[in-house]
Amino acid sequence: MVKVRVEGTDRFELFETPISVGKILKKLDFLPFEVLVINKNRLLTRDIVLRDDEEIILRVVYSKG
């Protein structure tokens, strides 16, 4: 399972693996330019495939106002 946490909120989701970062963003209704995807202090691109026991953080980087 991959654990996904949206930084600054209490929201987290679990996803079956393997799964790409792009598929996770799509399932959570984020566009790639709206968030930074972070894993172990590394930025991930949407083509990266995640395996078991990974945890990523989504940091929202766009303004809604």
The residue written with tokens 């968030």 in the block is: 35
Could you give all domains of the chain from N- to C-terminal order, each with its CATH number?
Answer: 2-60 (3.10.20.30)
pLDDT computed for residue 25 by the predictor: 98
The residue written with tokens 């598929």 in the block is: 23
Percent of the chain whose predicted confidence (pLDDT) is above 90 = 92
Q: Are strands 42-43 and 35-39 parallel, antiparallel or unpaired?
A: antiparallel
The residue written with tokens 């995640």 in the block is: 50
Q: Using DSSP, state whether 58 is helix, strand or coil.
A: strand
Q: How confident is the model at residue 2 (pLDDT cuts 50, 70, 90)?
A: very high
pLDDT computed for residue 19 by the predictor: 97
pLDDT computed for residue 63 by the predictor: 72
Instruction: Give the count of alpha carbons within 13 A of 32, CB side only.
Output: 10
Percent of the chain whose predicted confidence (pLDDT) is above 70 = 97
